[in-house]
Structure 1
Amino acid sequence: MDTEAEHTERDRSSGFPAGTSPTGTEERSRSARSVGHLSTAPARRVPGFSPGRLSLGRLSLGRAGLLGVGCAVAVLLFSAFVVQPFRIPSGSMEPTLQVGDRVLVNKLAYRFDAEPERGDVVVFDGTGSFVQQPPRENPVTGLLHGAAAALGLAEPAETDFVKRVIGVGGDRVVCCDKGGRVEVNGRAVDERYLHFGDAPSRVPFDIVVPQGTLWVMGDHRSNSRDSRDHLGEPGGGMVPVGKVIGRADWIGWPPVRWSGLEPTGAFRDVRSPDGAHG
């Protein structure tokens, strides 16, 4: 038997050329067509998903974040140099100012050769006069608290105070006259802003205010630690003009108390030591 001829005939009858198999060239071509078909089919889209929308969302969030930071910096700068909210922490200035009031402190009031006047309500740094050594605190905590206080969101620093100016440099302030009133340069002061039932002072004093300093007192005299309480300490209770942060000109919060702090007429008859109206 011719086995070579038999193998050749079997190859022809199977439909494939001699020396090839069903997994040969034709099958590889079919596989290639299948791969090509899969690669050109359009990808199925996830409903509601858009890469462009995602990128735009991230960009919008980034811009919003930058805008927020910019606004915060602008507000802090405005608070640092123009007007600063100040939260009233105690009742020492009642009834003029109440606990929780946010007053707006005008920092430009004394910037252009102007100085505090008698009757002004001022916010000042009491370091060296009311507080000899400021309390130690964590720098980071202090920074955050300072920023919150600058926006009126937190109580002021323990070294910041709000009081009314009673005497300026050169004034002689005495308490009390025969009628129980405070005298400034020999003139009795009718302090109608005092808390109801309070005496002008239950502590007698007779001082001359050094130049460049202020004698300050609270309107709620029986509930105020002020210049009277620091007479025997360094500085004698006098507040240096350079320590004044600004003048409280408006009550900004709560809304039911929106108002300006009008100048008092209590000192209109007081003359300066040189004889001029102060």
Structure 2
Amino acid sequence: MSGNGLDHDGHGRGLGSVLSGLAVAVGCVLFLGGFAWGAVQYKPYTVPTQSMSPTVKAGDRVLAQRISGGDVRRGDVVVFQDDAWGNVPMVKRVVGIGGDRVACCGKDGRLTVNGTPVDEPYLHGTNPASGTPFDAKVPAGQVFLLGDDRLVSLDSRVHMEDAAHGSVPLSAVSARVDAIAWPMGGMLARPSGFEALPGGTSQPGPLKLVVGAVVAGAVLILAGAAYGPIASLARRRRVRAAVPAGR
């Protein structure tokens, strides 16, 4: 009986050790792989001004997915850098792409794209959607950019006299903001107001999958590392319970 018990216990310890080691190994792959994936896909950026309030406030730390110009859609909050705008990284919202006629304001005070009024619930209490009327044709390969706080934002409206009518080239766009990392604000919602326009809106990047991989990896590493001490404690308790009282 005792021999069989020892064999069974030894087999259990061996299998448990293998499984705990496997959990740690898989956890390391997920944890480190998630961080590597995130580093390739995303870059952190601190928003310097209040122009995108209330969506993104001054001082917020955001995670922006690296994208090419061909991935840009209307409604995206993008990071860009252009000589005509001071050649410093800036964050604005894309409201028009090449070929669009962007104007404000329609009879109901809304922004219009190709004559279609657009709902903009993200605006900072602005009605009409711009205190400065404008009407611009966006050249091919360019985007028209506005801040969400239209009262303070210095955006495409102040560059209307430029040859590109206030727009910037797609090549100037380097990333799309996916989430506010600090203070923790979560994922940025894709605006529904542009969905009916040709091309629709963009889909969120893989940030949730990246975070999921890192969290799952951490859990597996902790669980695998904890197996040894927990199993040892359980064996000691079984030994003490098996010793007759008084011995």
TM-score range, shorter chain: 0.5 to 0.7
Task: Quote the residue 1:59 is aligned against.
Answer: none
Q: Is this contact kept in 1: 2:109–2:127, CA < 8 A?
A: no
Q: What is the CA–CA distance in structure 1 between the aligned matches of 2:168 and 2:118, rounded to whole Å? A: 21
Task: Quote the residue 2:155 is aligned against.
Answer: 226
Asked which structure has the greater RCO (Cα within 8 Å, sep 6+), the reply is 2
Task: Quote the residue 1:249 is aligned against.
Answer: 178
Task: Quote the residue 1:172 is aligned against.
Answer: 101
Root mean square deviation, CA, Å? 2.3
Task: Quote the residue 2:234 is aligned against.
Answer: none
1:174 alignment partner, SS class: strand
From the superposition, tell whether residues 236 and 197 of structure 1 become closer, same or farther in structure 2 (CA, over 3 Å).
closer
- Name the % identity: 41
1:98 alignment partner, SS class: coil
Q: What is the CA–CA distance in structure 2 between the aligned matches of 1:271 and 1:181, rounded to whole Å? A: 19
Matches of residues 133-212 of structure 1 in structure 2 within 5 Å? 134=87, 159-212=88-141
Name the TM-score, length of structure 2 as normaliser.
Answer: 0.62
Q: What is the CA–CA distance in structure 1 between the aligned matches of 2:172 and 2:82, rounded to whole Å? A: 7
Q: What is the CA–CA distance in structure 1 between the aligned matches of 2:120 and 2:163, rounded to whole Å? A: 28
Q: What is the CA–CA distance in structure 2 between the aligned matches of 1:223 and 1:87, rounded to whole Å? A: 18
Q: What is the CA–CA distance in structure 1 between the aligned matches of 2:126 and 2:105, rounded to whole Å? A: 16
**Aligned-pair distance for 1:96?**
0.2
For structure 1, the 5+ residue unaligned runs are 1-74, 135-158
The yes-or-no answer on 1:216 pairing with 2:161 is no
The yes-or-no answer on 1:122 pairing with 2:78 is yes
1:110 to 68, 71, 80: 68
Q: What is the CA–CA distance in structure 2 between the aligned matches of 1:235 and 1:130, rounded to whole Å? A: 12
Task: Quote the residue 1:7 is aligned against.
Answer: none
**Aligned-pair distance for 1:99?**
1.2
> Between Structure 1 and Structure 2, whose CA radius of gyration is higher?
1
Counterpart of 1:126 in structure 2: which amino acid? D
Q: What is the CA–CA distance in structure 2 between the aligned matches of 1:160 and 1:234, rounded to whole Å? A: 21
Write out per-residue CA displacement over residues 102-143 of structure 1, whole angstroms, 9 at most, x where no aligned residue: 110100x337xx42100000000122x323xx5xxxxxxxxx
1:228 alignment partner, SS class: helix
The yes-or-no answer on 1:94 pairing with 2:53 is yes
Structure 1 stretches of at least 4 aligned residues deviating more than 4 Å after TM superposition: none
Name the TM-score, length of structure 1 as normaliser.
Answer: 0.56
Q: Is this contact kept in 2: 1:185–1:271, CA < 8 A?
A: no
Matches of residues 51-90 of structure 1 in structure 2 within 5 Å? 82-90=41-49
Matches of residues 17-28 of structure 1 in structure 2 within 5 Å? none
Write out per-residue CA displacement over residues 73-118 of structure 1, whole angstroms, 9 at most, x where no aligned residue: xx99x75x531111011110000001111110100x337xx42100
2:191 to 264, 269, 274: 264
Q: Is this contact kept in 2: 1:172–1:207, CA < 8 A?
A: yes
How many residues are treated as equivalent by the alignment?
167
Q: What is the CA–CA distance in structure 2 between the aligned matches of 1:225 and 1:162, rounded to whole Å? A: 11
- Larger fraction in helix: 2
